[in-house]
Chain A
Amino acid sequence: MKLSGHLRDNIRRLEAVYSNCADLIFHDLLVGGHTPAVLVYFEGLIRLDELDQHVVAPLRDGPGPDQGLEAIRHRTTVASVKTVATIDELVDEINGGRPVLLVDGHASALVFGLSDWEQRSVEEPAAESVLRGPREGFVETIRTNISLLRRRIRSPKLKVVTLKLGTRTNTPVAVIYLEDVASPSLVREVMSRLKRIEIEDVLETAYIEEWIEDNRYSPFPQLLSTERPDVASAYLMEGHVIIMVDGTPTVLVAPITFFALLQTPEDYYERYVVGTAIRWLRYLFFAISLLGPSLYVAVVTFHQEMIPTTLMLTMARSREQIPFSALMEAVLMETMFEALREAGARLPKQIGSAVSIVGALVIGQAAISAGIVSAPMVMVVAITGIASFMAPRYTIGIPIRLLRFPIMFLAGMMGLLGVMLGVIVILNHLLNLRSFGVPYMSPLAPLEGRGLKDVLWRAPRWMLNRRAKR
Chain B
Amino acid sequence: MRRLALLLVLLPLCLLPVGGCWNAREVNDLAIITAAGIDRTEDGRIELSVKIYLTSPTGSDGGQMSGQPSSDKGTLVVRSATGINMADAASRLQKMVSRTVFWGQTEVFLFGERMARAGLEEPMDFLMRHIASRERSLVFVSERTAKDVMLLAPPIDRSVAEALIAMAEHQTGPNITLKELAQMLVGKSGAAVLPIVRINPVRDKQAAFPYIEGTAVFKDGRMIGELNEQATRGVMWLRNEMKQATVTVTPDDSGGYVSLHLLRNHTRLLPRIEDGRWIMIVRITGQDDIVENTTALDLSEPDHIGKVEEALERLVEDRVKYALELAQKEYRADIFRFADAFWRKYPKIWKANADRWDEIFPEVEVRLEPDLRIARPGLVGKNFFRREQR
Contacts and interface: CB of A to CB of B under 8 A. Distances in A.
Nearest to A301: B24
Given A309-B107, A313-B55, A317-B55, A325 B21 contact: yes
Contact of A368 (B19, B27, B30, B67): B67
B65 interface: yes
A317 B69 contact: yes
B343 interface: no
Contacts of B83: none
A375 B68 contact: yes
A302 interface: yes
Contact of B27 (A309, A319, A321, A369): A319
A448 interface: no
A78 interface: no
Contact of B67 (A309, A321, A413, A414): A321
Interface in A26-42: none
Contacts of A317: 55, 57, 67, 69-70, 74
A358 interface: no
A316 B27 contact: yes
Contacts of B145: none
A371 interface: yes
Given A314-B69, A319-B26, A369-B66, A309 B21 contact: no
Q: At the interface, is chain A mostly helix, strand, loop or mixed?
A: helix
A253 B306 CA distance: 76
A120 to B, nearest CB: 44
A342 B301 CA distance: 76
B26 A301 contact: yes
Interface in B67-117: 67-70, 74, 102, 104-105, 107
B361 interface: no
Nearest to A297: B24
A371 B17 contact: no
A318 B56 contact: no
A304 B55 CA distance: 14
Contacts of A302: 23-25
Contacts of B57: 317, 320-321
A400 interface: no
A372 to B, nearest CB: 10
B352 to A, nearest CB: 44
Given A316-B30, A317-B67, A374-B67, A412 B74 contact: no
A470 B65 CA distance: 73
Contacts of A300: 26-27
A361 to B, nearest CB: 15
Nearest to B69: A317
B25 A301 contact: yes
A302 B67 CA distance: 21
B109 to A, nearest CB: 14
Contacts of B17: 413
Contacts of B255: none
A374 to B, nearest CB: 6
Contacts of A319: 26-28, 55, 67
A325 B20 CA distance: 13
Interface string A272-310: 000000000000000000000000000011101101010
Interface in A346-372: 368-371
B19 A413 contact: yes
Nearest to A322: B67
Given A309-B34, A317-B55, A412-B21, A326 B67 contact: no
Contacts of A415: 23-24
A410 B16 CA distance: 8
A321 B66 contact: yes
A315 interface: yes
Query: Which of B24, B55, B57 has most chain A Cβ within 10 Å?
Result: B24
A321 B61 CA distance: 13
Which of B53, B55, B107 has the largest number of chain A CB atoms within 10 A?
B55
A309 B104 CA distance: 9
Given A319-B28, A413-B20, 7 more contacts: A304-B104, A309-B34, A326-B26, A327-B21, A375-B69, A413-B16, A413-B24
Q: Please provide the 8 A-B residue pairs with the shortest distance between their CB atoms, ordered closest to farther.
A: A305-B104, A316-B55, A321-B67, A317-B69, A369-B66, A316-B27, A301-B24, A319-B28
17 contacts: A300-B27, A302-B23, A302-B24, A304-B25, A305-B134, A309-B105, A313-B105, A316-B27, A317-B55, A317-B57, A317-B67, A320-B28, A320-B56, A321-B57, A369-B66, A374-B67, A410-B16
